[in-house]
Structure 1
Amino acid sequence: MTENVARRGFLLGGAVVGAGALVTACTGNEPQAAVSSPAPAATEGNDVPGEKVVIGFSAPAADHGWIAAIAKNAEATAKRYGDVEFRPVQPTNDVNQQISAVESLIAAKVNALVILPNDGQQLNQIARRASDAGIPVVNLDRVFPDKLSYRTWIGGDNYGMGVAAGHYIGAALKEKNVADPVIVEIQGIATLPLTQDRSKGFADALKTYGFRVTAQQDAQFTVETGTSVASNLLQAHKKIDALWNHDDDQGVGVLAAINEAGRNEFVMVGGAGSANAMREIQKPDSVLKATVTYSPSMASSAVKLARLIAQGKGMGDLVENQVPQSITLASETITRENVERYLPLGFES
């Protein structure tokens, strides 16, 4: 899902939340999606109609619930504006194909680009080419390492996700007076900076309680790998006190393995904020007690920001005349106590 969020200093939380309601989507090779409620017409402040702009959009293939919601949110938000022509290119998980797709948008001389790269490092050069051509790039989620390659970055707080999960687990174990807990961590893709940020945040938060991670393994953000990795960890540890799974999409497989093994002695925390994870949290007998958000609403906000930048506008609620260079969404903890409020915003895995 993302890359290194080193620029977490400018935090607006939900200041630029997208199209009224999040879009739901489901995982797998045939993702489906539905907007939970129609967005109101754009009429006030920054939403006042302005100069007609063309916004190009490129993202990975929607074979993952979170990515599917990203694409749907972006499209739904663009449709709100009569002054926006939304020009998405074919989504792909092939880096070279994504580079070619972005090249086509540069050649078309779009007014702004929203890019969620498969890999920020590998697509950095094409984003820089767009910027050098005078096309402002809104870098969504996985960050380009060269700041000259983008005008604005918007994404989630990966380190903050780990911190939130660590504090929830640390407090839960302290409340149970667990002295030397077995804490298991199931990552997404271990080599991604985003995963490393999540793991560091988790370890740092646990450290404040005097705890540490006992075992750590990555599950590649897939349901199938989530099942196999969780099965292996459950077999290796006959007793577990807590488990953090980085991603609710792969969490479908993790929960399947847990249920198959008949294990319920530990507290589990998920990551991203999927609707199915929230429904699981509502069950009183589920091991899944919380999930920490990494909302695909960022795609809605990215389109809104691209429109403002292309039209030469700033953000209406800020004093500054231009859109900020970096916006980090807060990672919130969803529990049984507040899940009803978040459930309409969840995406389907």
Structure 2
Amino acid sequence: MRTHHKARTRLVLTGAAMLTAIGLLAGCTAGAEEEAAVDGGGTSTEENAESGETVVIGFSGPAADHGWLGAINSGAQAAADSFDDVELRVAEGTNDANAQIAAVETFINDGVDAIVLLPTDGAALTEVAIAAMAAGIPVINVDREFSSPFAARATILGDNYGMGVSAGTYICEQLGGEGFVAEIAGIDSLPLTQDRSRGFEDALSDCGLEVDARVAADFTVAGGESVTSQLLAANPQIDAIWNHDDDQGIGVLAAITAAGREEFFMMGGAGSRNAMDAIAADDSVLKATVIYPSTQAADGVALARLIAQAKTMGDLITPGIPKRIVLDAPVVTKDNVEEFIDLSFAS
């Protein structure tokens, strides 16, 4: 492994998503007095911002068969392109765990400086990630967790449970504790869907509401349209709907339009551009969405660079890079959509 020196952190445009969400990596520039107070904590934001020896980072993610995944992949490349001391080697996206394992093994054999990995299956990729770590290559785990704490140097996650809490809290605020609530989930077998539903149910229960009707789609437009048609046919009166995913939300809205239903309001999830445009226009039942950051792989590239160059996070007093980072899940409405629209992704 090479010894790396000083580097630079920039704001990154991740396709349609700006990496302002990772202020935690660069932070705001501190005044002279503040810098003096934390000088012993590690490298400063300014030091991290200086270019250093080139870092070779291997990146592997699933096939971009979904708008959010497409933004994940393009965000990783955009982040790398923003640094003149990062070389990103991108494996072909795949939903085949064995093919992804082979890609990581290639990175190990090539002796890259770090690996950013969004596993198609966290458990299946755990062993090869441990092998990379054992070879002295730090692994940054993105979005889907490995099954061993020894498989990653750092983990960056969206907050699936927090998404459910945010959605349930918003609906409670709008309904005041009374109303018929429906839920359109993604794929029920996935832990992320289970976490979102659990957070949603917990938040609703705090204001005396519950999920009165629930269907699960498959994170596709066709799936969203099909299950929503069934949901609407079975329930003549609905007050609020939470749809877990803005990509499948295109189909959800199509079904709602076809049924001529508008007695309820809906909120989405993830933060697509078309959802935010609809929220800003305020001319449909879609009134809000909950962010699930598509900047996670871009964040991973920025962290991989700092780790490989033995840097710390700017503006943190404690030296080193945190082991685990869970990103926020804010609610976007017409009142704050302009603050978030540059973080959106194309469906």
Q: TM-score, normalised by structure 1?
A: 0.87
Give the corresponding residue for 2:221: 223
Equivalent residues of 1:18, 1:301 under 8 A apart: no
Give the corresponding residue for 2:318: 320
Measure, in 1, the Cα distance between the counterparts of 2:74 and 2:49: 20
Give the corresponding residue for 1:267: 265
Measure, in 1, the Cα distance between the counterparts of 2:14 and 2:343: 5
Pairs within 5 Å for 1:100-115: 100-115=102-117
Give the corresponding residue for 1:119: 121
Equivalent residues of 2:10, 2:83 under 8 A apart: no
Match of 1:21 among 13, 16, 21: 13
What's the secondary structure of 1:260's corresponding residue?
helix
Measure, in 2, the Cα distance between the counterparts of 1:74 and 1:270: 24
**Aligned pair 1:337/2:329, yes or no?**
no
Match of 1:57 among 56, 59, 75: 59
What's the secondary structure of 2:268's corresponding residue?
strand
Equivalent residues of 1:242, 1:266 under 8 A apart: yes
Measure, in 1, the Cα distance between the counterparts of 2:184 and 2:292: 16
Measure, in 1, the Cα distance between the counterparts of 2:246 and 2:10: 21
Could you list the per-position Cα deviations for residues 233-275 of structure 1 after superposition, in whole angstroms to 9, with x for gaps in the alignment?
A: 1111111111101111111111111111111111111001111
Amino acid corresponding to residue 332 of structure 1 in structure 2: P
Match of 1:190 among 188, 203, 210: 188
Measure, in 1, the Cα distance between the counterparts of 2:138 and 2:59: 12
What's the secondary structure of 2:89's corresponding residue?
strand
Give the corresponding residue for 1:78: 80
Shift of 1:68: 0.5
Hey, which bits of structure 1, 4+ residues long, moved more than 3 A? 17-22, 42-45
Equivalent residues of 1:23, 1:36 under 8 A apart: no
Shift of 1:136: 0.5
Q: TM-score, normalised by structure 2?
A: 0.87
What's the secondary structure of 2:321's corresponding residue?
coil
Measure, in 2, the Cα distance between the counterparts of 1:53 and 1:345: 26
Measure, in 1, the Cα distance between the counterparts of 2:283 and 2:313: 45
Equivalent residues of 2:10, 2:82 under 8 A apart: no
Equivalent residues of 1:69, 1:296 under 8 A apart: yes
Give the corresponding residue for 1:7: none
Equivalent residues of 2:62, 2:119 under 8 A apart: yes
Give the corresponding residue for 1:10: none
Pairs within 5 Å for 1:254-333: 254-333=252-331
Amino acid corresponding to residue 235 of structure 1 in structure 2: A
Equivalent residues of 1:23, 1:72 under 8 A apart: yes
Total equivalences in the alignment: 316
Equivalent residues of 2:16, 2:345 under 8 A apart: yes
Give the corresponding residue for 2:32: none
The unaligned stretches of length 5 or more in structure 1 are 1-16, 26-34
Shift of 1:18: 7.4
Change (3 A) 1:21 1:84: closer
The structure that is helix-richer by fraction is 2
Q: Which has the larger radius of gyration?
A: 2
Amino acid corresponding to residue 214 of structure 1 in structure 2: D
Measure, in 2, the Cα distance between the counterparts of 1:91 and 1:284: 36
Give the corresponding residue for 2:203: 205
Measure, in 2, the Cα distance between the counterparts of 1:262 and 1:313: 56
Shift of 1:341: 2.1
Measure, in 1, the Cα distance between the counterparts of 2:140 and 2:200: 28
Could you list the per-position Cα deviations for residues 146-205 of structure 1 after superposition, in whole angstroms to 9, with x for gaps in the alignment?
A: 11000000121111110110011111111xxx63x2211111111111111111110010
Measure, in 1, the Cα distance between the counterparts of 2:264 and 2:14: 31
Pairs within 5 Å for 1:145-184: 145-174=147-176, 179=178, 181-184=179-182
Measure, in 1, the Cα distance between the counterparts of 2:136 and 2:275: 42
Give the corresponding residue for 2:89: 87
